[in-house]
Amino acid sequence: MGFSMTEGIIFALILVGLEIQSCCSQVTQINRGSFPKGFVFGTASSSYQFEGAVKEDGRGKTVWDTYAHKFGKVVDFSNADVAVDQYHRYNEDIVLMKDMGTDAYRFSIAWSRIFPDGSGEINQAGIDHYDKLIDALLAQGIEPYVTLYHWDLPQALADKYNGWLDPQIIKDFAVYAETCFQNFGDRVKHWITFNEPHTFAIQGYDVGLHAPGRCSVLLHLFCPAGNSATEPYIVGHNVLLSHATVAQIYRKKYKPTQQGSVGISFDVMWYEPMSDSAEDIEATQRAQDFQFGWFMDPLFSGDYPISMRSRVGRRLPTFSEAEAALVKGSLDFVGINHYTTWYAKDNSTNILSLLLNDTLSDSGTVTLPWKHGKAIGDKASSVWLYIVPQGIRKLMNYIKQKYGNPTVIITENGMDDANNPFISIKNALKDEKRINYHNDYLTNLLASIREDGCNVKGYFVWSLLDNWEWAAGYTSRFGLYFVDYKDKLKRYPKHSVQWFKNFLTTV
């Protein structure tokens, strides 16, 4: 199966050790003062989900503009043409951040605002907008953490050469990134090259549920084009080479004077074995390999996990010696977007492989949020989001032990409520479940730092505001602030805002 038994033993020992730790450390009350000095607290967003103004100031069209306007791709038939209008209301939103006491704001730059066609001529209006946003944040003492790519590929590049499927994207992304370093790097000291490459590789090129909507499931019944068995791996490979190329440019040309850092953010579920059998423990490690190791292993060792090499075979691209050297060590910090924990079990029947022949079946695992009919934790609104606070501590320890305790920033963590049209705004602001979620996840994160020695330096809440949540549209509310979509997008603080305000002002 290509799985290292040594890895399996290590994984099992981590699980056992953390079960012991989890039972014996309860933090009853935490606040900013509980965390190490300099620990960063912030909120997070992305350009397409927040900005709106999709046809203003020279912005070019993106693959998500195209995808969201196709019938049936978004559950409530909405799009993000307006989103929560942060393009025009960023000053108002910065006041909300300042009032809450946050240190930083993670936002993404829209590639198509800088290069409307993905390459070629720079759009000065786009530069000017982000100049003003960055300056406004700094004026309020809020540090910008900038994501260069949060899924909104310029449509022109998808039309020209299929975007992430072609190596040309590496050069075009590098020019875009360097343009951002040149224009904003005197003030931006924290760069995130990509948000969740695993997500957009799988959702966009395997199952076709995100832009650009490519897949080969059931002979293209759901997608007009794509190859689920190969394209996600090609996308992931080009992303890794793009990240490494940009990191090298920054380190050689800009870091000596700008003194910033470059990282990348990954979506990472924690997985618990469905049983204590060797097969399920090995499957749990494979699930992690095909999710997190897919990108982390090349960045730390120069190649993909052994389990991926063995199971995917020739469909998995290879790194040349020069590429492996370029990718290995090409990050200053690891961004982790963590929300939930699921169970993993061995896929002994192999039915998925016969039906799908894709990256989801290649791992030989089945992942589920239930065991014996019982959910792994209380459920949020999203179908995938179950509340399992101890998962974040176990994940931090896994990263520490497997990858040598690198610098980690939690670049997203949060939970959503349903957008219930029948509930009053007054009642929608009562989000005690969200308060408990953040308290319990932060408590476990703190234990991983204080008791386990994990090297975690920051925590960003997803999200400052309710917003447009991709294929879920406006049906899902992750925000600390309620956005009234029926009344000029007015912002109202949920109870969690006051909780965070108390948390952040108590030292």
pLDDT for 236-246, tens place per residue? Answer: 999 999 999 99
Backbone angles phi, psi at 243, to 5 degrees: -60, -50
Q: How confident is the model at residue 222 (pLDDT cuts 50, 70, 90)?
A: confident
User: Is 196 known to be catalytic?
Assistant: yes
Segments of 68-109 assigned E as strands: 104-108
Q: Determine the residue type at 9.
A: I
When the pLDDT of each residue in the chain is averaged and rounded to a whole number, the result is 93
Question: Span 497-501, mean pLDDT?
Answer: 98
Q: Could you report the per-residue pLDDT of 258-313, keeping only the tens digit for each?
A: 999 999 999 999 999 999 999 999 999 999 999 999 999 999 999 999 999 999 99
Q: What is the pLDDT of residue 348?
A: 79
**Is a pLDDT exceeding 80 seen at residue 354?**
no
Bridge partners for 458 per DSSP: 40, 409
Q: Could you report the per-residue pLDDT of 159-177, keeping only the tens digit for each?
A: 999 999 999 999 999 999 9
Q: pTM score, two decimals? A: 0.94
| 369-400 burial code (b ≥16 CB/10 A, e <16) | beeeeeebbeebbbeebbbbbbbbbbbbbbbb
CB 444 within 8 A of CB 493: no
Give me the helices (H) in 389-458, please: 390-403, 425-428, 432-450
Q: Which residues contact 312 (CB under 8 A, 6 or more apart)?
A: 233, 362
Bridge partners for 461 per DSSP: 43
Q: What does the block give as tokens for 237? A: 């490979």
Task: Please give the Cα distance from 469 to 467 (Å, whole number).
Answer: 6
Q: Could you report the per-residue pLDDT of 404-447, keeping only the tens digit for each?
A: 999 999 999 999 999 999 999 999 999 999 999 999 999 999 99
Q: Which residues contact 228 (CB under 8 A, 6 or more apart)?
A: 205, 206, 207, 215, 216, 217, 356, 357, 358, 359
In the chain, the domains with their CATH numbers are: 38-504 (3.20.20.80)
Query: Parallel, antiparallel, or unpaired for β 270-273 and 333-337?
Result: unpaired
In percent, the amount of the chain with pLDDT more than 90 equals: 90
Task: Please give the Cα distance from 463 to 486 (Å, whole number).
Answer: 20
Q: How confident is the model at residue 358 (pLDDT cuts 50, 70, 90)?
A: confident
Question: Span 334-346, mean pLDDT?
Answer: 98
Task: Please give the Cα distance from 411 to 193 (Å, whole number).
Answer: 13
Q: What is the pLDDT of residue 405?
A: 98
Q: What is the sign of the dihedral through the CA atoms of 44, 49, 52 and 56?
A: positive
How many CB atoms are located within 10 Å of the residue 56 CB? 13
Task: Please give the Cα distance from 405 to 395 (Å, whole number).
Answer: 12
Angle at 323 between CA 309 and CA 112, to 5 degrees: 100
| H or E element in which residue 140 lies | none
Q: What is the pLDDT of residue 139?
A: 98
Q: Could you report the per-residue pLDDT of 391-414, keeping only the tens digit for each?
A: 999 999 999 999 999 999 999 999
Q: How far is CA 258 from CA 75, 234, 237, 411, in A?
A: 43, 33, 29, 22
437: closest CA among 375, 381, 368, 507? 381
Q: Which residues contact 28 (CB under 8 A, 6 or more apart)?
A: none
Question: Span 24-49, mean pLDDT?
Answer: 86
Q: What is the pLDDT of residue 507?
A: 76
**Is a pLDDT exceeding 80 seen at residue 7?**
no
Q: What is the pLDDT of residue 446?
A: 98
Task: Please give the Cα distance from 443 to 501 (Å, whole number).
Answer: 17
User: Is 323 known to be catalytic?
Assistant: no
| H or E element in which residue 313 lies | none
Q: What is the pLDDT of residue 221?
A: 80
Q: How confident is the model at residue 353 (pLDDT cuts 50, 70, 90)?
A: low
Q: What is the pLDDT of residue 359?
A: 86
How many CB atoms are located within 10 Å of the residue 506 CB? 13
Q: What does the block give as tokens for 479? A: 């925000």
Task: Please give the Cα distance from 395 to 389 (Å, whole number).
Answer: 11
Task: Please give the Cα distance from 84 to 46 (Å, whole number).
Answer: 11
Q: How far is CA 38 from CA 33, 41, 97, 104, in A?
A: 10, 9, 18, 12
Q: % helix / strand / coil in the chain, to the nearest 5?
A: 45, 15, 35
Question: Span 199-222, mean pLDDT?
Answer: 91
Largest separation between any pair of C-alpha atoms in the chain: 60
Task: Please give the Cα distance from 480 to 431 (Å, whole number).
Answer: 9
273: closest CA among 3, 7, 11? 11
Catalytic residue among 51, 196, 282, 323: 196
Q: How confident is the model at residue 111 (pLDDT cuts 50, 70, 90)?
A: very high
Q: Which residues contact 106 (CB under 8 A, 6 or more apart)?
A: 42, 43, 44, 45, 145, 146, 147, 192, 411, 460
Task: Please give the Cα distance from 103 to 137 (Å, whole number).
Answer: 10
**Is a pLDDT exceeding 80 seen at residue 27?**
no
**Is a pLDDT exceeding 80 seen at residue 355?**
no
Catalytic residue among 272, 282, 412, 469: 412
